[in-house]
């Protein structure tokens, strides 16, 4: 890394769940962290946890699907802690429905947060990486990118992020910037708990069923994803780029 000022990360969707775990882990690794989420006040818990552990963090309220909002958020981070050279595109929503009854609004909402959001945040932050001649981009895909019933929108968005990742790796590699994607399997979060509730299955049973289908015979936790982000953001991962790593407890096609 060119200098200490380059050690600034921004994590979208970092108010809770996987994003919060990633932000906390990157702070423990020595990064100053922009904790970005739609509701700035919701970021307080993550920011407070980072500061309590001796790290530096700032809460950023931004709608990742809105260009002006993203630009204002990154400007706030740059003023407070420095321009980000690590970007983790984790913000996401689900609007699950079968194709024949999926409203266009549900398709657009998912595309706007996952794909447009990752594009806008990365595009806004890349200038800091190019300037520093060092950067790390980590995009959150999913095993759903391989197809999942009732998730035409989510699956398409998560597969799209993989193509986006590979193109970023090609375009930005000469500037010392890597781009990789992580495809989580079943991770215990508010989102998976909501899915269990939606399908009418107790969460403990839902988790047990997921574990039974996983070779390592357990479900995943946000920290599992955070560990992988930590590696990809490290100096040692400088020759790993354009890859999709499934953190799912077993092989995926």
Question: What tokens were used for 151?
Answer: 């998730």
**Of residues 250, 163, 252, the one with CA closest to residue 212:** 250
Candidates 128, 154, 221, 246; catalytic one: 154
DSSP 8-state class, residue 202: -
Residue 223 host element (H or E): helix 222-232
Residue in the block written with tokens 């780029």 = 241
Q: Residue 113 contacts by C-beta under 8 Å, 6 or more apart in sequence?
A: 64, 65, 91, 92, 93
- Contact present, 119 and 110 (Cβ < 8 Å): no
**Of residues 151, 145, 147, the one with CA closest to residue 163:** 145
15 vs 95: CA distance, rounded Å: 20
46 vs 96: CA distance, rounded Å: 28
Q: How many CA atoms lie within 13 A of 3 on its CB side?
A: 8
Q: CB 239: neighbour CB atoms within 10 A?
A: 6
Per the annotation, the verdict on 154 as an active-site residue is yes
202 vs 206: CA distance, rounded Å: 6
Active site residues: 154
């Amino acid at each position: 890394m060119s200098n200490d000022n380059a050690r600034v990360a921004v994590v979208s969707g970092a108010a809770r769940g996987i994003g919060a775990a990633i932000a906390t882990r990157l702070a423990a690794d020595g990064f100053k962290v922009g904790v970005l989420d739609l509701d700035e006040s919701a970021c307080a818990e993550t920011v407070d946890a980072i500061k309590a552990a001796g790290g530096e963090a700032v809460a950023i309220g931004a709608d990742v699907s809105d260009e002006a909002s993203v630009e204002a958020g990154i400007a706030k981070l740059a003023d407070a802690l420095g321009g980000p050279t690590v970007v983790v595109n984790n913000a996401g929503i689900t609007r699950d429905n079968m194709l024949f009854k999926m409203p266009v609004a549900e398709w657009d909402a998912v595309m706007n947060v996952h794909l447009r959001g990752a594009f806008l945040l990365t595009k806004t932050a890349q200038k800091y990486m190019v300037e520093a001649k060092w950067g790390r981009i980590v995009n959150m895909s999913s095993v759903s990118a391989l197809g999942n019933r009732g998730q035409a929108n989510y699956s398409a968005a998560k597969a799209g992020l993989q193509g986006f990742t590979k193109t970023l790796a090609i375009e930005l590699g000469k500037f010392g910037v890597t781009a990789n994607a992580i495809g989580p399997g079943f991770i215990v979060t508010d989102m998976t708990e909501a899915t269990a509730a939606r399908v009418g299955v107790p969460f403990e049973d839902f988790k047990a069923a997921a574990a039974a289908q996983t070779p390592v015979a357990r479900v995943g936790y946000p920290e599992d994803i955070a560990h992988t982000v930590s590696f990809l953001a490290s100096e040692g991962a400088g020759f790993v780029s354009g890859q999709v790593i499934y953190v799912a407890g077993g092989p995926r096609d």
